Amino acid sequence: PSACGDGGARHGGVRESAEEDDVQVFNDGSSRELVNLTGTIPVRYRGNTYNIPICLWLLDTYPYNPPICFVKPTSSMTIKTGKHVDANGKIYLPYLHDWKHPRSELLELIQIMIVIFGEEPPVFSRPTVSASYPPYTATGPPNTSYMPGMPSGISAYPSGYPPNPSAYPGCPYPPAGPYPATTSSQYPSQPPVTTVGPSRDGTISEDTIRASLISAVSDKLRWRMKEEMDGAQAELNALKRTEEDLKKGHQKLEEMVTRLDQEVAEVDKNIELLKKKDEELSSALEKMENQSENNDIDEVIIPTAPLYKQILNLYAEENAIEDTIFYLGEALRRGVIDLDVFLKHVRLLSRKQFQLRALMQKARKTAGLSDLY
């Protein structure tokens, strides 16, 4: 057996860890060679950090079944029994009870130990003068609800394993070097409170069962509440982003509406102006129609300056000569006039046309107009 990919547990809070194959002896005298991990975990308690020694036994069914976890106190420490640790140092946690591969792993287990032991330390320092205690007989776990769950049809331990291992199954103590000699400051002192644990006669009291059930329910409620809060926070963040997008869209719509209002006002103004111009043109047209019978065609168009009038007359005369030459050509084609007559008149008209064009070109240049030819 091996750590099965949980070697990262050595760097996830375990200090001075050691991995080795060792023989575990069970209560019925049977033994089996298993992998055990020993080391210390840093626990923060009342502003101080304490190194709590632990030992993890990996069964040959690991990682499908949880490890067997113990607190391994040194000679200067005493186990503090409670809802998570019995008098033998065995650790009971909801995480072990709900162990499920591949979701569960050693790294997360150790982190949970650090948190729980920070609330209730599993060991405390011995008094300077301590009375000798008689050997304590191993008893059952304080919390049956934390016993690791196994798949249907599979026993709690592999074939040949008794259901309850011995208190300290051959797991060596960590070296004494990492623990300072001043035990009074290295580990929390025993608080003057009564801890809940197994009684001396091996029975489990109602208070122990009640405390274990409350602890299990509290842990599950905390996890469920955390999941709900995380989900609600994610929804809140999504709603905030949606709100920001809606605000930006609302601002853009307001700008578009303002711009459209301005364009509509401009269009209305232009419509009114065009209506006035249309009325003026209609009135002028009606007036001209009424006076058309009495008006001379040459007097209808009156240039604004004498130079423009001269240009207009030159242009009209030049076009008249152009039309005359055209109709002379038609008369020649039809045989109305002969060639000599045609050439004579065309020569005279062309000379006149040339003079008109030259004079008109000069007048347009004086008026600042562009050239026609």
Last residue of a domain, one of 189, 204, 219: 204
So what's the pLDDT on residue 293? 65
Please check whether residues 40 and 185 belong to one and the same domain: yes
So what's the pLDDT on residue 155? 37
Last residue of a domain, one of 204, 230, 247: 204
**Structure tokens that stand for 10 in this block:** 């050595």
Please check whether residues 333 and 199 belong to one and the same domain: no
Rounded to an integer, what distance in angstroms lies between the CA atom of residue 215 and that of residue 123? Answer: 19
Closest CA to 158 of 146, 173, 148: 148
Please check whether residues 78 and 192 belong to one and the same domain: yes
Domains of the chain: total? 2
Asked whether residue 2 carries a pLDDT value surpassing 60, the answer given is no
Looking at the whole model, is its pTM more than 0.75? Answer: no
Instruction: Examine residue 324 and state whether it is found in any structural domain, yes or no.
Output: yes
Please check whether residues 24 and 164 belong to one and the same domain: yes
Please check whether residues 53 and 172 belong to one and the same domain: yes
Q: Which residue has the higher pLDDT, 6 or 363?
A: 363
**Residue 262 Cα distances to 248, 265, 273, angstroms:** 21, 5, 17
pLDDT-derived band at 355, boundaries 50, 70, 90: very high
pLDDT-derived band at 24, boundaries 50, 70, 90: low
Last residue of a domain, one of 152, 170, 204: 204
Instruction: Examine residue 76 and state whether it is found in any structural domain, yes or no.
Output: yes
Closest CA to 346 of 327, 367, 373: 327
Asked whether residue 11 carries a pLDDT value surpassing 80, the answer given is no
End-to-end CA distance of the chain: 109
Please check whether residues 182 and 308 belong to one and the same domain: no
pLDDT tens digits along 114-167: 988 888 889 888 776 544 444 444 344 444 444 444 333 333 333 333 334 333
Instruction: Examine residue 43 and state whether it is found in any structural domain, yes or no.
Output: yes
Instruction: Examine residue 348 and state whether it is found in any structural domain, yes or no.
Output: yes
pLDDT-derived band at 214, boundaries 50, 70, 90: confident
Arithmetic mean of pLDDT over the chain: 76
Instruction: Examine residue 225 and state whether it is found in any structural domain, yes or no.
Output: no
Please check whether residues 27 and 134 belong to one and the same domain: yes
Q: Please compute the mean of the pLDDT values over residues 107-116 and round it to a whole number.
A: 89
Q: Which range, 63-72, 153-162, 179-188, has the best average confidence (pLDDT)?
A: 63-72
Task: Provide CB contacts within 8 A for 101, sequence distance 6+.
Answer: 63, 64
So what's the pLDDT on residue 15? 53
CATH code: domain of residue 126 = 3.10.110.10
CB 181 within 8 A of CB 175: no
Please check whether residues 163 and 53 belong to one and the same domain: yes
Please check whether residues 319 and 180 belong to one and the same domain: no
Instruction: Examine residue 83 and state whether it is found in any structural domain, yes or no.
Output: yes
Instruction: Examine residue 292 and state whether it is found in any structural domain, yes or no.
Output: no
Instruction: Examine residue 269 and state whether it is found in any structural domain, yes or no.
Output: no
Rounded to an integer, what distance in angstroms lies between the CA atom of residue 144 and that of residue 90? Answer: 12
Q: Please compute the mean of the pLDDT values over residues 77-90 and round it to a whole number.
A: 89
Residue 342 CB-density burial (10 A; 0-12 exposed, 13-18 middle, 19+ buried): middle
Q: Please compute the mean of the pLDDT values over residues 260-279 and round it to a whole number.
A: 95
Range of the domain at 357: 302-367
Rounded to an integer, what distance in angstroms lies between the CA atom of residue 234 and that of residue 245? Answer: 17
pLDDT tens digits along 306-338: 899 899 999 999 999 999 999 999 999 999 999
Q: Which residue has the higher pLDDT, 151 or 52?
A: 52
Please check whether residues 47 and 185 belong to one and the same domain: yes
So what's the pLDDT on residue 211? 77
